[in-house]
Copies of this chain bind each other. A is one copy, B any other.
Amino acid sequence: MRPGHDDRRDNDARAAAGNGLLDRRIFLKGGAAAAGAFMAFASSESAAAPPETPPGMTMSGAPLSPYGSPAGFEREVTRTLIRSQPGTTGAGASRTPLEALEGIITPSGLHFERHHNGVPTIDPAQHQLLIHGMVARPLIFTMATLSRYPMESRIHFLECSGNSGAMYGATPPAQTCGQTHGLVSCSEWTGVPLRLLLEEAGADPRADWILAEGADAAAMSRSVPMAKAKDDALLALYQNGERLRPENGYPVRLFLPGYEGNMSVKWLRRIKVTDTPTMTKDETSKYSDLQTDGKSLLFTYPMEVKSVITRPAPGLKMTGQGLYELSGIAWSGRGKIGKVEVSADGGQTWAEAALSAPVLAYALTRFRIPWKWNGAPAVLKSRATDETGRVQPTRDALIAQHGANVIYHYHAIQAWRVEANGEVKNVYA
C-alpha cells in the first residue's frame, strides 16, 4: 500500500457502520470519485511499458478437450471428506469449500455429498420409478418416459440439516469456513413436477403423505407431506445443465425446495402414497432434533434463514490493512432473502450489504459490502432476514430455544475474528 493514498480518499468513503464498514452503494456507476478508495493496491511502478512476455506466449498452448477440468493451480480447491462412520466405504459427508467460491452457483464437482451407504452405480436404461400405494393407477416410469414430460428449471440451494452442527459444541471448531458450513450448495435443477405424476396416478385425496425411497444400499427413505409433493417438488434429472452427477442422485432424485437436504431423496426408485408418515429409520433414529427435555422434534423440514461471510473467512488470510470487499452467502428455506446486515465491530453496529441480482426463492443469495480494515483485530458478523421477516438468531438465543443436544438445524449468526496478522478464526462472540 502506498502511504497516504487512503487518506486522500477518505472524504469519498461514506461510513455505513462502525469499524470501517462503508456504504454498499459507493461503487455504483457514477461513483467515480469514490472508486479510487479501493484502488490503493495496484502497482504503478514500471507500469509504463507492457510486462515482459510471459512463457505461455512463446509456445502453442494445450489442445481442445472433450470435457474440461479446473486449472492445475486450483487443485487444492476440493471437497473436504468427513466420514461419520469409520470403517464404512461410503457413509459420511464431503463439504463444499465455500471460502474458495464466488457467485451463487456451486460447480457440480464441488457440490456437497451426504451418503448413507455410498454412491450406487445405476444404469439409466434399467432404472425404474414406481408410484404406488393409495393411488387409482400404480405406474412405473422409465427414464426415457420421464424425458417426454413437462419440465421446470429452478436455481435452488440444498442444505443438509446437519450443516454447521459443530457450532453447537463448547468450543468453536478450528476449521475452514467450508469445513464448518459447507453442507450447503446451490445448483440449477431441471426436472418434472412431481404433482403431474401424482395426478396421473390418481393419488387418493385422503392421502396426506408420500414415502420416497432411494435405490442406494441404505434404502434411504423419508416421509414427505403431500402438500409439499403437490406444491413445488421436482423429480430432478439435470443439475447445472447436464444430467445429475452420481453423488447427487443419478439418474433421478426428488428435490424439495427449502427442505432439509436428505428429504430430497437421491437415486429415487419408489414413491408410495400414504395416509400417515411411514416413520422410517431415517426420520426417527436420525434427522430428528433432541431437545433439552429429552423429547425429540420430528419433521423439522424447512431450513431456517442463515448467512455466512465467505471472504474473508477461515481458510483465507487478509493481505494487509486497507480496503476490501466482504462477500458472503445467505439463504432461507422459507423463500427469498430480504436483507443481509454486516457488522465489523462484533455486532455493536450494522450496515446493510448489497444483494447480487437475481435474488431467488430457496436459492443462495450473494451479498457484498466494502470494508476498510484498520489492521487491528476485528470481529465480523452477518445477519440475514428472509422475506417472511425471520431473522438469524444469536448462537446464545438459538441454544436457549433449541438446546445443544441436537446436531441439526444450526443457523445462528456466525462471527469471524480477524487477527492483526490477517488470520481469520471462528469465534463465539
Contact = CB atoms under 8 A, between A and B. Distances in A.
Interface of A: 27, 29, 32, 35-36, 38-39, 41-51, 54, 56-74, 77-79, 81, 83, 88-90, 92-94, 100-111, 113, 115, 117-128, 130-132, 137-142, 144-145, 147-153, 155, 187-190, 193, 195-197, 199-200, 215-217, 219, 237-238, 240-247, 250-251, 267, 269-270, 311, 319, 322-325, 327, 356, 358, 360, 366, 368, 370
Contact of A60 (B117, B139, B187, B370): B117
A107 B242 CA distance: 7
A68 B216 contact: no
B241 A64 contact: no
B151 A368 contact: yes
Given A35-B200, A105-B241, A139-B43, A325 B150 contact: yes
A62 B246 contact: yes
Given A54-B269, A61-B121, 17 more contacts: A36-B200, A44-B139, A46-B140, A47-B131, A47-B137, A60-B88, A60-B89, A60-B217, A61-B119, A64-B81, A64-B93, A67-B79, A73-B123, A105-B240, A110-B241, A110-B242, A148-B323
Task: Report whether over half of chain A's contact residues are helix, strand or loop; otherwise say mixed.
Answer: loop
Given A27-B150, A79-B67, A360-B358, A242 B196 contact: no
Contacts of A41: 145, 148
A39 B60 CA distance: 54
B356 A152 contact: yes
Given A47-B139, A150-B368, A153-B104, A32 B242 contact: no
A181 to B, nearest CB: 15
Given A64-B81, A102-B153, A103-B241, A197 B39 contact: yes
Contact of A325 (B68, B148, B153): B148
14 contacts: A39-B196, A39-B197, A39-B200, A47-B131, A54-B269, A61-B119, A64-B92, A67-B109, A68-B109, A71-B124, A71-B250, A72-B121, A103-B188, A107-B241
A59 B217 contact: yes
A201 to B, nearest CB: 8
Q: Determine which residue in A107, A322, A324, A358 has the highest number of CB atoms from chain B within 10 A of its CB, and name it.
A: A107
A244 B41 CA distance: 23
B190 A122 contact: no
A199 B35 contact: yes
A62 B89 CA distance: 7
Contacts of A188: 103-105
B140 A102 contact: no
Contacts of A153: 102-104, 356, 366
B140 A74 contact: no
A270 B50 contact: yes
